[in-house]
A and B are shown apart, each in its own frame.
Chain A
């Protein structure tokens, strides 16, 4: 092996193994103001519910979880399998349902929430256990189980991060205001772990929003 080549290989190997470091906090939020007066209403309103596989995949991607781990009933049955029909799925080999339901079922909102809570709780707990490798909920100053400053810039940054991951856009000002208010409400609610409760709730609110579950 020529010396120049070995130098290049060593350099490449080194560059592939950077020293451990704490991820920087989420970037600052560029808030927008919804222009309600100028919004055009959709005439066709042709919305589709995402369905079990797409919803599960989107939640997994947003939170960097394995799709198989997003939600399991009783720790062993995939929620998308158990609640497949309620989420508009097909099941040709069981009940012989070959086409997805054209409408959402009565229990659809509930099973979507189960999926969201399951995924969000996992993400938050992983991030809290290993802050140095936190994916979503990073850089949040906490005093014990509470957020140090429920309306601080770091809280706003997390709202931005979650909105970008869940909805692929920046949050609007009213959204930031409302989710900051949620942090304050939880802080004063007597909940044992208000910081964790806020993180899970924020994640849940974004992922189970209409904008997240329809396309």
Chain B
């Protein structure tokens, strides 16, 4: 084909060029479409693998599992007696002076001063005001109605939105979207139903959480030999592993079970061990100090984390209060980009110590069966104190020097809980027990949520929360139907997760504009 001297095509040449282009596009079209589809197959979209197009940088989810039923009307949505009218004496509302207004905010803060905690002779003094004042702009409360008052089932549903997205948990969604390539995309230190896997078996194995029971000692298991008395040096370890793997690969056992998924997984995991060790997580995640003779770290060739001193200052009881140990480890897992999702929470066991002599009552929030008001106040204080320290650490940790973002700017804390508590009480009782109730609300903390916001509201005459429109945020008084998928979707919407193919409801109301 030649151009005319004036650079234009002749009519014949134009027709020829167009016919070639048509033929070419016809031939290439399926190929090009195939390329596009290979990037966005329905399966890939369904699995949420299309990454957030905003910046491609990781985001982090910390789930604080408030086991036992953290009641929202004993914290940020508390009701004053003067608002409850004739029902005031028989529902769970507070004397007006105990429900503090928060300037410029829809939230409330409860103050409780009780002489004892049920039958436990310790005084309970709790005041939520300082926390709410400090974090109200990053705080969102969404009212909720669950579908189970069984602890374990309700715990799990608070993380799956009652099977809102093929049964996968929030942590699995976050690990899938932002944790791929991290050593342990999800780490779970909580209890009961909060530790259970989701039911979507199609996800990559890496998104299912690594379970941790002893957060302070767990980092020792991140190296195969360091700190083991008598174990040889790294070069010998490498030779020994190589010999083992060679023998293993050719063994009758491996040949016999070569098709076993268990063996395939094992071999793949073993191949990753060196990569994990190279990150020196046994040191970086180790909050324990060198403290001979009780804890002679150096005698075992170990060191404390470079962040150890700061974390021990923030969480001084990290070793014998598991919740403090979990919070310290959660920070390190995020800081060193080990995990995208971390789950922590108090368990149902008694933990002694602390200023009051008791750090955790038996049954955590479920101690409310014995003494609702003091139990809730004590446990909310425990949750908020830990969240406060964690957020302070995250705010002080730079994430991206170019944008000036801190680690906190990329993190969402979701305070998951089993369910709410029954609202009734004997006439004007200040010490009473409560049962499990589907009606409640969830707390989220993050710069990514629409801060200083209550989605839904409380009917002061009953103490029950009512719903809201998850897309617009408009309150819907009288709405008492289950909204677990809205909460689930709200967390992911706020984080900017890709929800393609999920079928989740639009929960734009949760997201910071």
Contacts and interface: CB of A to CB of B under 8 A. Distances in A.
A111 B225 CA distance: 9
A73 B243 CA distance: 26
A95 B256 contact: no
A144 interface: no
Contacts of B300: 74-75
B250 A174 contact: yes
Interface residues of B, number: 72
B211 A97 contact: yes
Contacts of A46: 260
A211 B256 CA distance: 11
Given A97-B195, A110-B223, A191-B235, A118 B229 contact: yes
Interface in A84-99: 84-86, 91, 93-97
Contact of B230 (A74, A94, A125, A214): A125
B261 interface: yes
Interface string A10-29: 00000000000000000000
A45 B259 contact: yes
Contacts, number: 223
A200 interface: yes
A190 to B, nearest CB: 8
Given A201-B236, A210-B248, A117 B224 contact: yes
Nearest to A81: B214
B513 interface: no
Interface string B348-379: 11000000000000000000000000000000
Interface string A148-180: 000000000000000000000000101100110
A209 B260 contact: no
Interface stretch (B162-170, B186-194, B441-449): B186-194
A52 B211 CA distance: 15
Contacts of A178: 243, 246-247
A94 B247 CA distance: 39
A89 B262 CA distance: 17
A103 to B, nearest CB: 6
Given A45-B257, A121-B228, A172-B252, A204 B217 contact: no
B224 A109 contact: yes
Contacts of B239: 182, 185-186, 189, 201
Interface stretch (A36-44, A59-67, A134-142): A36-44
A107 B236 contact: no
A114 B213 contact: no
Contact of B266 (A82, A104, A111, A191): A104
A86 B261 contact: no
Contacts of B254: 210-211
Interface string B261-288: 1110111011011001100000000000
9 contacts: A42-B260, A74-B296, A84-B213, A95-B195, A97-B213, A121-B228, A175-B247, A205-B241, A205-B244
